[in-house]
Each structure stands twice: as structure tokens, then as C-alpha cells.
């Protein structure tokens, strides 16, 4: 399974709104396996298809310590949310940048799994944060865009400087 290239902020493709998955087939399942492999290799706890330049509503998440509890969400929708908390977040598309974002403390999400079976999940804590973060990607939003324009400009400058030094 190939490791997919993760788009880096501020790449405009990260702002593409993902389309619903109309049919789950072998190509869909291959993408899910490749996304999971990419997420684990990064290493990360969540990855949206948008981040690998595939603009379909697919998310993979594994917040387990052993990295052995992969969750797949196809066409996810949050149907309920409760509370509000600030969480320190990071993102594979914004490497080495971390900061607080306010999100719902708990959510209920409905989606399809990799076999096309409908499920509903109640999530709280880190899992709820991760689901909301990855669903933002499907809407073309990156977590740093919750911050002030000044703070976003600093992040972009930091990433551009790092990119120049890497060349």
C-alpha cells in the first residue's frame, strides 16, 4: 500500500469542499487502506481524503494508544453536539504547529463504514475533537483558520521559511 502525499497548508486544494461518496467499491476501500497507512506512517490520529487531494467525504481515525482501532467515516454528519471546550490541536497538513480551538465536548455522528453499513457513534473527548477536525477538512477548512489573521500569517511565514530551508 502506498503512502500518499499529504497536502501542506496553505495549499489551495485544502480549501476544496469534498463531494459525497455515491458508491462504495474496491477503489474506495483501496483509498481507505492507503489513507490509514499514510496516517499511521505520518504519524497521526486522523486523516481526511481532502488532505491527500481526493475530494470525497471520507475520514479515517484511530485515537487508540496501540493504533489498532481504525474508524472509517464515509459521508459523516454530526447530528447532535453538546458543551464546548478548548483543545490543543495539531494537523498533518500543518506540521509542528499546535494551538487551541473551541469545539463541542461531545457529538453524535452518523456515517457509513468501509462496507457501506450505516452506523451512529456517540463520541467525546479526543475522539470528538478528531472527528470535528477531520470533518472541517471535508468542508475545506483547516484548524488554523479558527485563529486571528495575524496568527494565521505567522503560521504561513513559519511554514514558508521551513520549506525554504528544506530545499
Residue 113 is part of a domain; what is its CATH number?
A: 3.90.45.10
Q: Domain range spanning residue 140? A: 12-166
Model pTM above 0.85: yes
The total of structural domains in the chain comes to 1
Q: Check if 145 is active-site.
A: no
Residue 160: which pLDDT band, with cuts at 50, 70 and 90? confident
Marked catalytic residue, from 37, 77, 88, 134: 134
**Separation CA 10–CA 106 (nearest Å):** 29
Instruction: Characterise 6 by phi-psi region: left (phi > 0), alpha (psi -120 to 50), beta (else).
Output: beta
**Does the residue 7 lie in any domain?**
no
**Does the residue 133 lie in any domain?**
yes
Q: What is the pLDDT of residues 1-27, one digit of tens each?
A: 689 999 999 999 999 999 999 999 999
Residue 158: which pLDDT band, with cuts at 50, 70 and 90? confident
Q: Check residue 163 and give its pLDDT.
A: 76
Q: Strands (DSSP E) along 70-131, which ranges?
A: 71-82, 85-91, 94-103, 106-112, 118-124
In 3D space, the residue among 95, 126, 99, 123 whose CA is nearest the CA of residue 111 turns out to be 123
Dihedral, 78, 64, 52, 99 alpha carbons, nearest 10: 80
**Does the residue 2 lie in any domain?**
no
Amino acid at each position: 500500500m502506498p503512502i500518499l502525499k499529504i497536502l501542506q497548508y496553505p495549499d489551495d486544494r485544502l480549501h476544496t469542499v469534498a463531494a459525497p461518496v455515491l458508491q462504495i467499491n474496491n477503489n474506495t476501500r483501496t483509498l481507505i487502506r492507503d489513507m490509514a497507512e499514510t496516517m499511521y506512517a505520518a504519524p497521526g490520529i486522523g486523516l481526511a481524503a481532502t488532505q491527500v487531494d481526493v475530494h470525497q467525504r471520507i475520514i479515517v481515525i484511530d485515537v487508540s494508544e496501540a493504533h489498532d482501532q481504525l474508524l472509517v467515516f464515509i459521508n459523516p454528519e454530526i447530528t447532535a453536539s453538546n458543551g464546548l471546550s478548548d483543545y490543543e490541536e495539531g494537523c498533518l497538513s500543518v506540521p509542528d504547529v499546535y494551538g487551541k480551538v473551541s469545539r463541542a465536548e461531545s457529538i453524535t455522528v452518523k456515517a457509513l463504514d468501509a462496507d457501506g453499513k450505516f452506523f451512529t457513534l456517540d463520541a467525546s473527548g479526543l475522539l470528538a475533537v478528531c472527528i470535528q477536525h477531520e470533518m472541517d477538512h471535508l468542508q475545506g477548512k483547516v484548524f488554523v483558520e479558527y485563529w486571528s489573521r495575524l496568527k494565521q500569517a505567522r503560521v504561513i511565514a513559519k511554514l514558508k521559511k521551513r520549506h525554504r530551508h528544506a530545499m
